[in-house]
Amino acid sequence: GENVEQHPSTLSVQEGDSAVIKCTYSDSASNYFPWYKQELGKRPQLIIDIRSNVGEKKDQRIAVTLNKTAKHFSLHITETQPEDSAVYFCAARISGGSYIPTFGRGTSLIVHP
């Protein structure tokens, strides 16, 4: 089955700095890679996703890059703000409703004002 490794487990940055979270996956059949942000006690929210036919995707301060050959993908947050503080999860799955997504262990991002 799929195995997703996520690093780092904790990331502390100053407001305005950039933050990068990295994930690797093992199953070359995986073709959809979402990122979720979860605030304490709340549901994970989809913040950005990328499909395997694309190498990079950007949405304002957030970007995701994918290297299919190396089987890794990364989340980049620029100009971080205190409200970006949360736990971020990466995931990998095969497109299709019944395929089980595999989640990373999560990264706790702390943005200091």
Site residues, other proteins (CB under 8 A): 32, 34, 36, 41-46, 49, 51, 87, 89, 91, 93, 95-98, 100-101, 103-106, 108
DSSP characters over 38-87 = E-TTS--EEEEEEETT-SEEEETTEEEEEETTTTEEEEEE-S--GGG-EE
CB of 53 to other proteins, least distance (A): 12
Longest Cα separation, the chain: 42
Question: Phi first, then psi: what are they for 82, rounded to 5°?
Answer: -55, -35
CB of 82 to other proteins, least distance (A): 19
> Closer CB to other proteins, residue 97 or residue 113?
97
> Closer CB to other proteins, residue 8 or residue 16?
8
Burial class (CB in 10 A: 0-12, 13-18, 19+), 103: middle
> Closer CB to other proteins, residue 34 or residue 84?
34
> Closer CB to other proteins, residue 17 or residue 29?
29
CB of 16 to other proteins, least distance (A): 26
Residue 32 CA to its chain's centroid (Å): 12
CB of 38 to other proteins, least distance (A): 9
